[in-house]
Chain A
Amino acid sequence: MSETAEDLGQPESEKEFKELLTFFLAGEEYGVDILRVQEIKGWDSVTNIPNTPEYIRGVINIRGSIVPIIDMRLRFTLEKKEYDATTVVIILNVVSKGNADRVMGVVVDAVSDVYNVPVNDVKASPDFGTAVDTEFVTGLATIDGKMIIVLDIDHMLNAAELAVVDQMAE
């Protein structure tokens, strides 16, 4: 684990690896940098926040801090799904420029695995034009013949918030 962290500090290195935690969302496998994952917990009830978009499910208490929970399916405008036994909340550390780090949770269908992926194997995602929103995608990685969509969580979760602010301003 610590070795990986060191490797991440040397982008020039050929053998640079990145550990990804992957999860499922509507049949696709997505990955996030495991160093950003604070914990994984089962779905529990949340406190709704009024006048926020539907994808912001509400807030929960994680050891005394109030943490907002975002539904990834709704965020990506995928089909809604009832939460079941495999539904989990991944608590992530979100880094934003100029602000203190924040803690946010995302609801996903299920967690999958942890992979060690060479950074060079993460390919930029092809341009889908306007058909698919690739704004929050860092790239695509192939592991054992499967495609994994690597997400830029900082961008996604900060943008998620900004979108709300804009909406409120109108």
Chain B
Amino acid sequence: MSIDLEQFHETFFEESFEGLDIMETGLLELEHGEVDLENINTIFRSAHSIKGGSGTFGFTAVAEFTHDMETLLDQMRNGERQVTVPVVETLLGSVDVLRSMLNAIRDGSEIDVNNVSQMTASIKGILGVEDAASGAPEVEKYAQAAKGWVVHFKPYVDILKTGNDTVRLLRELNSLADQTEVTVDNESLPPLTELEPEECYQSWSIKLIGAEVSEDEIREVFAWVDDECDLKIEAMAEDSSDSIAASPGEEQSEEELPEKRSVEKRAGKSTESSSIRVNISKVDELINMVGELVITQSMLSRFGESEEFNDSTIERLKDGLAQLEGHTRELQESVMRIRMMPISFAFQRFPRLVHDLSTSFDKKIELIMTGETTELDKTVLEKIGDPLVHLVRNSLDHGIESPAERIKAGKSETGVINLSAYHQGGNIVIQIKDDGAGLNKDKILTKAKEKGLVNSDERMTDDQVYDLIFRPGFSTADVVSDISGRGVGMDVVRRNIRELGGAVEVKSKPGEGSVFTIRLPLTLAILDGQLVGIGDETYILPVISIIESLQVKSENINAVAGNAEVYRLREEYIPIVRLYQIFDIKPVSTELDSGLLVVVEAEGKKIAIYVDDLLGQQQVVIKSLETNFRKIEGLSGATILGDGTVALIIDIAGLIDLYQKDMASNVVSIKGAAA
């Protein structure tokens, strides 16, 4: 029977990339001087699994490359090698090379051979130097091995069901030594009538006489069946083969545990894959909920069958319906939670990024991350990575000053970047905070005027000025470095975040630093909506952006320059947006005081939307307009109401843009008329 190995490729890649991430994290910790044996072990195991996997799938280039890394790690693990910065740097570099190799294989493209051979050479360089130094213990080990080994191999009964073949293992062992002696223990073999052909009852003692191999090489043979057998490997003493050594088998199983735990901890991580690994407890919860739902359903169906209907049955029916509602909501939340993943998956790349960038910028930077366990929707998580990278790079490049400047400003030499995530209302908030120089208001204004983004006589608040950096065609970097200023500006960051239904804003204080705040919806699937009526149409406003709804008092309406209307609300002037004008709908009334104003906020800007009526609030399932149609400016999607009709969901930030464009075109036409 031939098995199509290709079906496992994706899993292999997924696991290997996870392994690489684990290695990277571990190596970065090592670099910070925390030499911890468990940590090195973890790194080693990741490398080992990648090597094993790539060997199995025939990616020999990867296997060979990893083998050298593994050798180096093994020496570190055995304390034969000092953990030094150059060694860790080399390993970090090889993690990158390995990642690019795996990427190349996955995408079916060419592996960059130069890169690989360079890296192999530098690893071999380190190994070569050290080999000479540690030659002695190595020889001793082999000398000890020369007498041979006794391997006690006692597989568990289920070993065959896991697809492992004991015969293959024995054959492989046989190839390690010139002369082998095998003793089979048939004691636990049941009578033929009770024999289960798919189970394994025997155990073996194998003497490898004169085998010139190390213990690790023997263990290697059993690498795949580690947790499916008891394994004892003893060095052959002078003549007795029965010496009772400490059982390395137990040690082995103990060693296995942390790996399993770490695998579980990592469950669910995969950056671009379409599959998702879900914690079993979440699934159990779901099954419980479904159970409850079935019970409620059977209770309700009783009413359908009952002949008579009186007050008491109606009362119970209402109770049942209330229960049903509760369960539906809980079920919905449970299902949502399946898609939820901790934000650490997006954060984990930053230690490395900051490490690399601070070296290339000659800056000293400490990265502090908090709230890594905050969960958010997988889709949001995958798409927020790039904007976050951009913002962190930005803080590093433009925010934090050089050590010399920092000392001059009376700050500590090391800059701090704070990356934090937390929940607030129905949103998740991600903050990137630096203690650098802050945004330079004058520079931004000059630049904006240069680019014609603002008029030279325009009066702006600080926040409005800072907001200019998100405008298309704006970049404050004096010198275009390879990190920033590659044409991917802050406007792209804002656009990407908006596509996720979120918002980004910046606050800054000269000399103290800046804070970028990203607000994202927890999920892209469901939204708390406020239904509003405009003419015959029903639109939905996200409740999260609504500040308040109010009846218009005509004395609070002011007109600015004839066309733009503002509403005075507690000493604040808020522009009035007549939705029917922007969306070209026939309203019930155009008189402001016969309708209502809904004050909404997005990205720090407030507008008051004029609507005919408020119709009630409900949770709505967001459907994309793009599936069958395309994106419409000012709308974030559509939903289906209880009566089966479609209602459109308003994207507040987009609407503000539309309104501003509308106003701008009016201004242009007035100016044109004047000229």
Chain B interfacial positions (CB closer than 8 Å to A): 537, 582-585, 623-625, 627-630, 632-635, 638, 640, 644-648
8 Å CB interface, A92-130 against B: 100, 102-104
Chain A to chain B contacts (Cβ below 8 Å), 11 pairs = A47-B646, A47-B648, A49-B629, A49-B648, A52-B632, A61-B645, A65-B623, A66-B625, A66-B627, A165-B630, A168-B633
**A41-77 interface code vs B (CB 8 A; 1 in, 0 out):** 0000111111110000011110011111000000000
Which B residues are in CB contact (< 8 Å) with A59?
625, 629, 638, 646
* Cα separation A68 to B628 with both chains bound (whole Å): 7
Partner of A66, one of B537, B634, B644, B646: B646
Total residues of chain A contacting the partner, CB 8 A: 25
* A60 with B646, Cβ < 8 A, contacts A47-B638, A165-B630 known: yes
A39 within 8 A of B: no
Q: When A and B form their complex, which 7 residue pairs have the shortest distance between CB atoms, in order from nearest?
A: A50-B583, A47-B646, A68-B629, A102-B628, A66-B638, A61-B640, A66-B623
A164 within 8 A of B: yes
Contact B583 A65 (CB under 8 A): no
Closest CB in chain A relative to B511 CB, distance in Å: 43
A28 within 8 A of B: no
Contact B627 A65 (CB under 8 A): yes
Contact A64 B585 (CB under 8 A): no
Residue from A47, A51, A68, A168 with most neighbouring chain B CB atoms (10 Å): A47
Which A residues are in CB contact (< 8 Å) with B646?
46-47, 58-61, 66
Which B residues are in CB contact (< 8 Å) with A65?
623, 627-628
Contact A104 B582 (CB under 8 A): no
Residue of chain A at shortest CB distance from B584: A50
Contact A51 B632 (CB under 8 A): yes
Given contacts A49-B625, A66-B625, A164-B630, 4 further A-B contacts (CB under 8 A): A50-B583, A51-B584, A61-B640, A165-B630
Contact B627 A102 (CB under 8 A): yes
Residue of chain B at shortest CB distance from A68: B629
* A47 with B645, Cβ < 8 A, contacts A64-B640, A66-B638 known: yes
Contact B632 A45 (CB under 8 A): no
Which B residues are in CB contact (< 8 Å) with A64?
623, 640
**A150-170 interface code vs B (CB 8 A; 1 in, 0 out):** 000000000001001100100
Contact B630 A50 (CB under 8 A): no
Residue of chain B at shortest CB distance from A100: B627
* Cα separation A51 to B635 with both chains bound (whole Å): 11
* Cα separation A60 to B644 with both chains bound (whole Å): 9
Contact A161 B630 (CB under 8 A): yes
Contact A66 B628 (CB under 8 A): yes
8 Å CB interface, A27-49 against B: 45-49
* Cα separation A168 to B638 with both chains bound (whole Å): 20
Contact A47 B628 (CB under 8 A): no
* Cα separation A57 to B469 with both chains bound (whole Å): 39
Closest CB in chain A relative to B372 CB, distance in Å: 35
Partner of A104, one of B624, B628, B644: B628
Which A residues are in CB contact (< 8 Å) with B625?
49, 59, 66
Residue of chain A at shortest CB distance from B641: A61
Closest CB in chain A relative to B527 CB, distance in Å: 15
* Cα separation A67 to B624 with both chains bound (whole Å): 10
* Cα separation A49 to B324 with both chains bound (whole Å): 35
Contact A48 B630 (CB under 8 A): no
Residue from B537, B632, B646 with most neighbouring chain A CB atoms (10 Å): B646
* Cα separation A51 to B314 with both chains bound (whole Å): 48
Closest CB in chain A relative to B405 CB, distance in Å: 44
Contact A48 B640 (CB under 8 A): no
Partner of A47, one of B582, B584, B630, B647: B647
Partner of B645, one of A45, A49, A104, A161: A45
Contact A50 B582 (CB under 8 A): yes
* A49 with B623, Cβ < 8 A, contacts A61-B644, A61-B645, A64-B640 known: no
* Cα separation A103 to B627 with both chains bound (whole Å): 8
Which B residues are in CB contact (< 8 Å) with A49?
625, 629, 632, 635, 648
Closest CB in chain B relative to A94 CB, distance in Å: 8
Contact A103 B628 (CB under 8 A): yes
Closest CB in chain A relative to B657 CB, distance in Å: 13
Residue of chain B at shortest CB distance from A50: B583
Residue from A49, A50, A100 with most neighbouring chain B CB atoms (10 Å): A50
* Cα separation A149 to B640 with both chains bound (whole Å): 36
Contact A51 B633 (CB under 8 A): yes
Contact B537 A48 (CB under 8 A): yes
Closest CB in chain B relative to A167 CB, distance in Å: 12
Which B residues are in CB contact (< 8 Å) with A52?
632
Which A residues are in CB contact (< 8 Å) with B628?
65-68, 102-104
* Cα separation A48 to B569 with both chains bound (whole Å): 32
Contact A66 B583 (CB under 8 A): no
Which B residues are in CB contact (< 8 Å) with A67?
628
Residue of chain A at shortest CB distance from B625: A66
* Cα separation A104 to B629 with both chains bound (whole Å): 8
* Cα separation A37 to B624 with both chains bound (whole Å): 22
Contact A50 B623 (CB under 8 A): no
Partner of A50, one of B585, B629, B644: B585
Closest CB in chain B relative to A65 CB, distance in Å: 6
* Cα separation A68 to B583 with both chains bound (whole Å): 17
Contact A47 B632 (CB under 8 A): no
Closest CB in chain B relative to A67 CB, distance in Å: 5
Which B residues are in CB contact (< 8 Å) with A45?
645
Which A residues are in CB contact (< 8 Å) with B584?
50-51
Residue of chain B at shortest CB distance from A62: B628
Which A residues are in CB contact (< 8 Å) with B582?
50
Which A residues are in CB contact (< 8 Å) with B537?
47-48
Contact A50 B645 (CB under 8 A): no
Residue of chain B at shortest CB distance from A67: B628
Closest CB in chain A relative to B234 CB, distance in Å: 62
Which B residues are in CB contact (< 8 Å) with A58?
646
* Cα separation A51 to B625 with both chains bound (whole Å): 14
Residue of chain A at shortest CB distance from B637: A66
* Cα separation A43 to B582 with both chains bound (whole Å): 27
Closest CB in chain A relative to B580 CB, distance in Å: 10
Partner of A51, one of B583, B627, B640: B583
Contact A66 B633 (CB under 8 A): no
Residue from B628, B632, B633 with most neighbouring chain A CB atoms (10 Å): B628
Closest CB in chain B relative to A153 CB, distance in Å: 14
Which B residues are in CB contact (< 8 Å) with A168?
633
Partner of B629, one of A61, A66, A100: A66
* Cα separation A67 to B629 with both chains bound (whole Å): 7
Closest CB in chain B relative to A46 CB, distance in Å: 8
* Cα separation A51 to B634 with both chains bound (whole Å): 10
Which B residues are in CB contact (< 8 Å) with A103?
628
Which A residues are in CB contact (< 8 Å) with B640?
61, 64, 66
* Cα separation A102 to B537 with both chains bound (whole Å): 25
* A48 with B585, Cβ < 8 A, contacts A61-B645, A66-B629 known: yes
